[in-house]
């Protein structure tokens, strides 16, 4: 299948791009400008590049970019995205404090649906798509389960089949409002990645058991 990723920044798009190429999909990357898209495609070693104002012809679009870019991107495409199946993997973060942001709509996914009702929105979370905390065998064995939330049951089913074919194990967690919990989970995953980068480990949980006579 042909899939497009809007976003060409390492931290947001790498997990999705890696999965798409491993699964054998034809990949198109849309960056903030064409030069960025082309540089990202060269680094991936495969795919096509588009600029932000060029039309997207693929039916399935992954949205993997910083939260503050969401509204500008949706405005720039106007009604062009209507009918497309948009897979939202955004974790809303404040770029200055790295603290989570709660969208006025409840989640980034619900914000997309509210702003562009014609888009078929599916929210997903999977450690592999979000960028692994660990690498190698551990993430290969433990990172297959993928959580999906959507109000559009047909879109959810379509993505479930696509993810199954790509080696993941999709789990339906309900309507699109469950994206709020997925974004909270995404933030915790992000925080663990930052901690590992800064400290070289995930930290230790100490045993603070109370005395038996306490």
Across the chain, what does the average pLDDT equal?
87
Crossing angle of helices 70-77 and 108-115, rounded to 10° = 20
- The rounded distance, in Å, linking the Cα atoms of 81 and 71 is 13
Span 18-55, pLDDT tens digits: 999 999 999 999 999 999 999 999 999 999 999 988 99
Write down the pLDDT at residue 129. 78
Write down the pLDDT at residue 49. 96
Q: Residue 130: pLDDT above 90?
A: no
The residues spanned by each domain of the chain are: 2-199
Span 71-93, pLDDT tens digits: 999 999 999 999 999 999 999 99
Write down the pLDDT at residue 132. 56
- The rounded distance, in Å, linking the Cα atoms of 64 and 5 is 7
Span 178-196, pLDDT tens digits: 999 999 998 888 887 777 6
Whether 50 and 70 have beta carbons less than 8 Å apart is answered as no
In CATH, the number for domain 2-199 is 3.40.50.720
Write down the pLDDT at residue 169. 92
Q: Residue 148: pLDDT above 70?
A: yes
| CA end-to-end distance (rounded Å), the chain | 62
Q: What is the mean pLDDT of residues 94-100?
A: 89
Write down the pLDDT at residue 95. 85
Whether 170 and 143 have beta carbons less than 8 Å apart is answered as no
Confidence class of residue 210 from pLDDT cuts 50, 70 and 90? Answer: very low
């Amino acid at each position: 299948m042909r899939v497009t990723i809007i976003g060409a920044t390492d931290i947001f798009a790498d997990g999705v791009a890696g999965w798409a190429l491993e699964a054998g999909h034809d990949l198109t990357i849309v960056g903030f400008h064409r030069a960025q898209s082309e540089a990202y495609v060269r680094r991936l070693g495969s795919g096509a590049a588009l600029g932000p104002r060029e039309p997207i012809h693929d039916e399935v679009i992954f949205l993997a970019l910083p939260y503050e870019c969401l509204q500008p991107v949706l405005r720039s495409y106007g009604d062009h995205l209507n009918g497309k199946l948009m897979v939202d993997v955004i974790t809303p973060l404040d770029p200055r404090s790295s603290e989570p942001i709660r969208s006025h709509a409840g989640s980034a996914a619900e914000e997309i649906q509210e702003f562009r009702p014609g888009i078929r929105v599916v929210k997903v979370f999977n450690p592999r798509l979000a960028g692994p905390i660990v690498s190698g065998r551990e993430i290969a064995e433990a990172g297959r389960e993928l959580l999906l939330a959507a109000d559009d049951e047909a879109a959810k089913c379509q993505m479930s089949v696509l993810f199954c074919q790509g080696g993941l194990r999709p789990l339906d967690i309900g309507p699109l409002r469950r994206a709020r919990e997925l974004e909270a989970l995404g933030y915790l995953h992000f925080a663990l990645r930052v901690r590992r980068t800064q400290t070289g480990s995930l930290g230790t949980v100490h045993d603070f058991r109370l005395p038996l006579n306490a």
